[in-house]
Structure 1
Amino acid sequence: MSWLNRVRNAIPFITKRETPDHLWHKCKGCGQMIFTKEYEDNLHVCPNCDHHGRIGPAQRFAQLFDDAKFTVLPAPRVTDDPLKFRDSKRYTDRLKAARADTGDQDAFLNATGAIDGHKVVVGVQNFAFMGGSMGQAVGEAFIQGVEKAIAERSPYIVFTASGGARMQEGILSLMQMPRTTVAIEMLHDAGLPYIVVLTDPTSGGVMAAYAMLGDVQIAEPKATLAFTGRRVIESTIREKLPDDFQTSEYYRDHGLVDMVTHRKELRETLAKLAGYLTPDKKAA
């Protein structure tokens, strides 16, 4: 036995201390490690680079509504697998996995409550559920939110986050584009505002439908917003696109969104808009 082995073996064995995975969050913007508690207290925004992390309906509702009090509308029921679709997995198996991971029935959820005393209906698209893809369930939930807003005589505020249409539902998914457009017209006919908050990422069929039809268009900072991918566009036009192309800031500078609003200021901004656009609808 060498002297190195003798010294090493003479050192008392010390168990490696395990650090729970949930204590730290790695920022996808700057790569820095942040205490999860600090990250959550900062509304899931990186305190170093201001990267806005993706959040689901539960966190979004808690951040927006007064005293974090809200009522979630039950998800509308639709046929799970109308086309009996299968790729590498059955569509029903993908739905079961997504529901187990998120705890939600599908990728869109509505809730009612008040923001600074103003009654509102808020719909949130969840990118964690199959990339926030738009299928029949998303379309039905959007229409449910519109109908609830009309019944409550309140604004409808929608947070988008999607990779586009849900391929497993084929034409039935694409049909949600005109259906949601008609629902927005119903809201306008009732004299009620439709406010859109674009979050990272919003793309595809959703971008070509209800994501860009708001009376007021807001975007979170540095969100990726696109109908089709950057490489597809560059290969089609044979030109190099600007570095900030398809970002919130690019859309604002070119007049496609009205404002880019930090998450810390979003609640106040939405409260002001609800007050301006429905001044007589303050909650009791």
Structure 2
Amino acid sequence: MARARILVVDDEPFNLEIICDYLEDCDYEIETTQSGVEALARLEDAARHYDVLVLDRMMPVISGMEVLQRVKQHERLKAIPVIMQTAAATPDQVREGLAAGAHYYLTKPFECDSLRAVIRTALDDQRRRAELADRIHEHRVAMQMVERAEFSVRTLEEAAAVATTAALVCGRAEAVAMGLAELLVNGVEHGNLGIDFSAKGALKESGTWAEEVQRRLELDENRDKRVRLVVVREGERWHFHVRDDGPGFDWQRFIELDPSRAFAPNGRGIVLAKQIAFEEVRYAGSGNEVHAWTRDEEGGRA
């Protein structure tokens, strides 16, 4: 497997040196530049590919915010996860960055473990989305004949497979698969296994998240828990209903990305689902049920 390639952009050579030192023993291919202009030139070069962009917010000539906005408006580049590193961390500044598409934040000065945890999370998210996109093309035609379907999953692997398959009913399959995967994974992790926001953040930072998920899946109390998905065509829209066997959670805290959580490596799955996949996301009851709708576009039958 090819090494992940990371582009680090910061106008201060000392900051670039620190980041490179922090990542020295990681198996990444690191490129650096002190210029937003040069960063855009490299990013827009079709011969180059980057898996993560670590971007300083405050830079001369072209700021990090302008680079971020250009990246998110570019069809080929918009899926690259952007980690914004900044000393400008007021709620309004963070909110501006989140609105522009930076889902990961680091406040200068940051610790080595924090940088590594956020990069690991960004790469995990990117890899999962790439795998979903690859699977989508396999069963698209058959699934577009479906009017109603029901699925049941227990593991994160099953959640990814079902998200990919179920999303094929509609034209925007890749985007819906990513959003649906977030809702199903949330049902497994937070709903059935009880891994809350704080616990997942600590596990991600320590690199033990996958092991803890597997450990909890094997507990007797969790062996029979499932996350159920019902997909129904409703005229020109598709309705996705996800329900887990957990007690629910305080979903109101996560339906929007609070600037106070912008620096955490997790806690943005529901927001991503709303942004990239669904025109409406609505939680019910205690939070162990969620309804999402999307219009059938770009290749569906509607």
State TM-score, norm by structure 2: 0.28
Q: Select the structure of larger CA radius of gyration.
A: 1
Calculate the TM-score normalised by the size of structure 1. 0.30
